[in-house]
Amino acid sequence: MKRRDVIKKGLMGAGGVAAAATLSAPAIAEERITWRMVTTWPRNFPGLGVGAQRLANRITEMSGGRLTVEVYAAGELVPALGAFDAVIEGSAEMSHGAAYYWQNKSRATSFFTGVPYGMTSRELSAWIRYMGGQEIWDEVYDQFGVKGFMSGDTGTQAGGWFRKELNSLADIDGVRFRTPGLGGQVWERLGATVVNMAGGEIYQALQSGALDAAEFVGPYNDLALGFYQVAKNYYMPSFVEPGLATEAVVNKSKFAALPADLQKIVEYACQAEYDQVASDFYANDPIALQTLVNQHGVQVRYFPEDILRAGAEAAKDILGELRNSNDALTKKTADSYFQSLAILRTRTEQVDGRFLQAREQFFQP
């Protein structure tokens, strides 16, 4: 064979490999996955709805469009409180809500949102990230074929809006009150008639008289929802939602099918959004509260001591029942939560708490 034929064949072989590479590379590089995220929030709702959209944008942008997340607000694809089931059933790959909305499926879910007289948001984050909370959460959600991530932090919430002023525990009796989770169970034991409904439905229920009182999040959200137009007594702070976390839930099989880097992008985007939402609420809650008071005549009030004391006793009873639950996973969750709280509260109370007392007493710039 002549030398030029050898070179020609070699070039043809190389060209064939190059051509194959040219054909196959775009197929890999241009692979696109689209996920639907259903939420429990109204579209563009301050803090929460905005946070859900920003999370979707983060994932889409961080992945260079390889994983595109499309957001469907409450009611657009499924009802607000149908978001979790949509992920379980596969009609959506992802949801954005709050774990305690699903306590009818497992009482353990409430520990990953907010517990009466329980962890602050910083303590909750420490438990989830460093003290075994995420691993237990994974066990709880494995039952449903999903996986949860913390995706937002509202901080300590407001106690709620009441048509009538509360002067004592007796004033709670018979009050029709929208409040979910373990906190709702506490209020039931104090004498309230408790209703759970999505945030977008609360105003109409208050306006119609179907509710006498309602709590949702805090000033930032509550101003947008217009509760001040119906009730003027705004109680702070909540003793049943001291550090609420929202969640992003993914279908476990869909998540497992993602390449490893996309899985990490989902995880890290949720972590970033948890902290971003916290800052959003911390900045905007006090501004919104000033607007409520100065422009809308809202009266900021604090719960009477007998309500706080009775709430603490009710919380102890309910949480004690969970620690002695016949459901092994609920008991495991509760035990881990309270063992961690016993450690974490020493830091919060002995360091943060004492500093805040000193600042309030001695420092007024």
In this structure, are residues 173 and 187 in contact, taking their beta carbons and an 8 Å threshold? no
pLDDT at 28: 46
The pLDDT assigned to 5 comes to: 46
Closest CA to 311 of 133, 117, 138, 147: 117
Per-residue pLDDT of the chain (365 residues; tens, 9 = 90+): 444 444 344 444 444 444 444 444 444 455 899 999 999 999 999 999 999 999 999 999 999 999 999 999 999 999 999 999 999 999 999 999 999 999 999 999 999 999 999 999 999 999 999 999 999 999 999 999 999 999 999 999 999 999 999 999 999 999 999 999 999 999 999 999 999 888 889 999 999 999 999 999 999 999 999 999 999 999 999 999 999 899 999 999 999 999 999 999 999 999 999 999 999 999 999 999 999 999 999 999 999 999 999 999 999 999 999 999 999 999 999 999 999 999 999 999 999 999 999 999 999 99
Please give the domain boundaries of the chain with CATH numbers for all domains.
32-154+243-279 (3.40.190.170), 160-240+283-324+333-339 (3.40.190.10)
185, 189, 194, 196: CA torsion to nearest 10: 0
- Scanning the chain, the segments in alpha helix (DSSP H) are 3-29, 48-62, 83-89, 121-130, 133-142, 181-189, 199-208, 219-225, 252-256, 260-296, 305-323, 328-347, 354-362
Determine the pLDDT at residue 15.
45
What is 28-53 written as a DSSP string? HHT--EEEEEEESS-TT-TTHHHHHH
Look at residue 200 in the predicted model and tell me its pLDDT.
Answer: 85
| pLDDT value of position 30 | 58
* Tokens standing for residue 80: 């607000």
- Strands of the sheet containing 67-72, edge to edge, are 67-72, 33-39, 94-97, 244-251, 146-155
CA atoms within 13 A on the CB side of 273: 28
